[in-house]
């Protein structure tokens, strides 16, 4: 087909394809080079933090099954101080039985009145006494070296959150993966490359995945964080209960903390995914969360532009990705129709089937090339490449659909998980009926009159807070962007070994 480019009449078809292709592959090669150069942080011989003293694992769940036992034993092999399971009240019995079967001494089961992941996470945070906490899904299976490699990143005093690499764990006990699970594996391979590249280039990451992510406890014990986290609204009226990991990642950036992604075998987790068409429901929920969070990061909060410009550009690129992806087959289809119908046979036009087959073969080859790291591990998964191609175009259409349905905030794949705001559930539990209770706000409303009501509420909460050195970041943000910054001080005798220092974000 290359000789046809000599025909200037075909430029309207080949030029857009060429521009899109050059842009996409230039972007891809930059990402691959950064991924190849990236290096994980290795544990020190004498680390500052010890998992047996400094790590609590928090697991919010409502329907853990037998896979929980496998996951819990893998967590215990990493020697944390404690595992805290947070579930709804009616599930306490089954979860306690599972915990007792694994290790009743190191696994605690706590409850909240209704299933709500954010409320469960806050309950786990407040039950934590260690300096580092790790959120984990109830099916996340770790390697024994996981915590050692996570804690290695916290040697950086400005490190606020740490993520890990991931791969698919088959639902089938025999290890067989369905097409849907292999598609999930393809997505994880691409994600591992992406976050390793962004971590190497500017230290940022689009999202610290909730399947396993570690944070400094003092950041999340802050009343300002907990208030915003449990009162998170989209467009001021739609309560957000999923997307917690996106919120946490944005909070790290907006409050001056660093993040890191440990992409290596020693810090790799196995996680199960839906092994049937319900996987598409998961993807739809994740896509809506990505739209909401990326819009906030890029256009509302805007910290990401200054702190991690490469990640910001990646988010921007994803906004236009459905258009560029769908433009290719659209232009090729127009060209094939022109060759078949409008070009006289005397000019020897290419048959439409020739154009279609050539284009599809090219797409299959390039998609397989991008997933080469996956095939090094699981070469037999290559049979799913045609379905991956179809899934990519379906996903592009799904992204557009998700964009116009961002008001849909239900979980989608979990029965019993409603759309009630976490703070409202807590109010019901406490039987609060205070007409002066502060209004619900979004994190983006940081320098607005709503702060006056919010500050009064936070001050009341802080009076009984166990950590007197905590400050309300939202109430103390001034016009210059000055915010409190917490760091570890091993010489302190306080329970949290923490000290507060004022600094400007540009100085961190």
Mean per-residue pLDDT, 460-469? 43
Lowest mean pLDDT among 54-58, 102-106, 336-340, 411-415: 411-415
Tokens of 193: 């490359």
What is the phi/psi pair of residue 351, to 5°? -65, 150
Give the pLDDT band (50/70/90) at residue 7. low
On the question of pLDDT at 254 being above 80, the answer is yes
Average pLDDT over residues 386-412: 92
The region of weakest confidence among 135-149, 307-321, 410-424 is 410-424
Q: What is the pLDDT of residue 437?
A: 47
What confidence score (pLDDT) does residue 488 get? 33
Q: What is the pLDDT of residue 428?
A: 67
Give the per-residue pLDDT at 502. Answer: 36
Q: To the nearest whole percent, how much of the chain has pLDDT over 70?
A: 78
pTM listed for this prediction: 0.82
Question: In the chain, what's the furthest Cα-to-Cα distance?
Answer: 90
Q: Which of 147, 118, 111 is nearest to 226 (CA)?
A: 118
Q: Are 422 and 242 in contact (CB under 8 A)?
A: no
> Given the DSSP bridges, would you call strands 212-216 and 159-168 parallel, antiparallel or unpaired?
antiparallel
452 pLDDT tier (thresholds 50, 70, 90): very low
Residues 290-327 have pLDDT tens digits of 999 999 999 999 999 999 999 999 999 999 999 888 98
Chain centroid to CA 456: how far?
32
CA-based radius of gyration for the chain = 25
What's the pLDDT at 129? 94
Residue 468: partners with Cβ closer than 8 Å, 6 or more residues away: none
Whole-number Å distance between alpha carbons of 468 and 149: 31
Structure tokens at 462: 């802080």
- Which pLDDT band holds residue 185 (cuts at 50, 70, 90)? very high
Cβ count near 473 (within 10 Å): 23
Q: State the Cα–Cα distance between residues 502 and 508, nearest whole angstrom.
A: 10
> Is pLDDT at 242 greater than 60 in this prediction?
yes
Q: How many angstroms separate the CA atoms of 430 and 471, rounded?
A: 24
- Domains of the chain and any CATH numbers: 1-222+241-415 (3.90.550.10)
Of 169-173, 282-286, 348-352, minimum mean pLDDT range: 348-352
Going from the C-alpha of 231 to that of each of 128, 224, 439, the distances in angstroms are: 21, 11, 9
Tell me the mean pLDDT in the region 458-464: 48
> Are 355 and 1 contacting, i.e. CB atoms less than 8 angstroms apart?
yes
Q: Which of 37, 107, 122 is nearest to 72 (CA)?
A: 107
pLDDT reported for residue 415: 52
Closest of 288, 296, 284 to residue 235, by C-alpha = 296
83 φ/ψ angles, rounded to the nearest 5 degrees:
-120, 130
Three-point CA angle 371, 372, 374, nearest 5°: 70
Residue 449, pLDDT score? 43
Average pLDDT over residues 146-155: 97
Task: Tell me what the pLDDT averaged over the chain comes to.
Answer: 82
Residue pLDDT, tens place only, 359-395: 899 999 999 999 999 999 999 999 999 999 999 999 9
Residue 499 clears pLDDT 50, i.e. is over it = no
321-327-332 Cα angle (round to 5): 145
The answer, yes or no, to whether residue 506 has pLDDT greater than 80, is no
């Amino acid at each position: 087909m290359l000789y046809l480019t000599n025909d200037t009449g075909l430029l309207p078809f080949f030029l857009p394809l060429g521009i899109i292709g050059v842009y996409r592959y230039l972007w891809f090669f930059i990402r691959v080079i950064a991924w190849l150069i990236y290096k994980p942080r290795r544990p020190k011989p004498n680390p500052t933090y010890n998992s047996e003293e400094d790590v609590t694992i928090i697991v919010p769940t409502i329907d853990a099954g037998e896979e929980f036992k496998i996951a819990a034993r893998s967590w215990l092999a990493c020697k944390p101080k404690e595992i805290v399971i947070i579930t709804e009240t009616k599930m306490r019995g089954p979860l306690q039985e599972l915990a007792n079967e694994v290790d009743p001494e190191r696994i605690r089961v706590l409850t909240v009145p209704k299933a709500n992941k954010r409320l469960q996470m806050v309950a786990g945070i407040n039950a934590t006494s260690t300096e580092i906490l790790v959120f984990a899904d109830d099916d996340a299976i770790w390697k024994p070296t996981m915590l050692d490699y996570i804690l290695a990143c916290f040697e950086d005093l400005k490190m606020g959150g740490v993520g890990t690499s991931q791969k698919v764990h088959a639902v089938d006990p025999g290890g067989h993966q369905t097409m849907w699970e292999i598609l999930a594996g393809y997505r994880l391979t691409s994600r591992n490359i992406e976050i390793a590249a962004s971590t190497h280039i500017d230290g940022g990451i689009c999202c610290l995945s909730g399947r396993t992510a570690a944070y400094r406890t003092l950041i999340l014990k802050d009343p300002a964080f907990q208030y915003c986290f449990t009162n998170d609204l989209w467009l001021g009226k739609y309560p957000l209960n999923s997307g917690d990991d996106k919120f946490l990642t944005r909070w790290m950036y907006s409050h001056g903390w660093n993040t890191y992604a440990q992409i290596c075998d020693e810090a790799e987790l196995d996680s199960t995914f839906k092994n049937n068409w319900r996987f598409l429901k998961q993807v739809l929920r994740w896509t809506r969360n990505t739209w909401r969070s990326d819009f906030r990061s890029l256009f509302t909060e805007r910290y990401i532009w200054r702190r991690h410009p490469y990640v910001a550009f990646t988010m921007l690129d994803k906004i236009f990705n459905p258009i560029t992806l769908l433009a290719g087959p659209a232009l090729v289809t127009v060209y094939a129709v022109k060759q078949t119908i409008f070009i006289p046979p005397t000019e020897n036009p290419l048959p439409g089937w020739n154009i279609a087959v050539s284009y599809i073969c090219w797409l299959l080859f390039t998609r397989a090339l991008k997933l080469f790291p996956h095939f090094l591990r699981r070469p037999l998964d290559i049979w799913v490449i045609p379905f991956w191609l179809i899934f990519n175009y379906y996903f592009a259409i799904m992204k557009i659909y998700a964009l116009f349905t961002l008001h849909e905030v239900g979980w989608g794949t979990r029965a019993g998980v409603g759309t009630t705001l976490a703070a409202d559930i807590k109010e019901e539990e406490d039987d609060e009926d205070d007409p002066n209770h502060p209004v619900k706000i979004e994190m983006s409303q940081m320098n607005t009159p709503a702060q006056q009501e919010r500050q009064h509420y936070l001050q009341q909460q802080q009076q009984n807070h166990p950590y007197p050195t905590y400050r309300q970041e939202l109430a103390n943000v001034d016009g210059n962007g000055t915010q409190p910054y917490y760091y570890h001080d091993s010489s302190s005798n306080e329970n949290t070994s923490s000290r507060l220092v004022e600094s400007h974000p540009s100085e961190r």
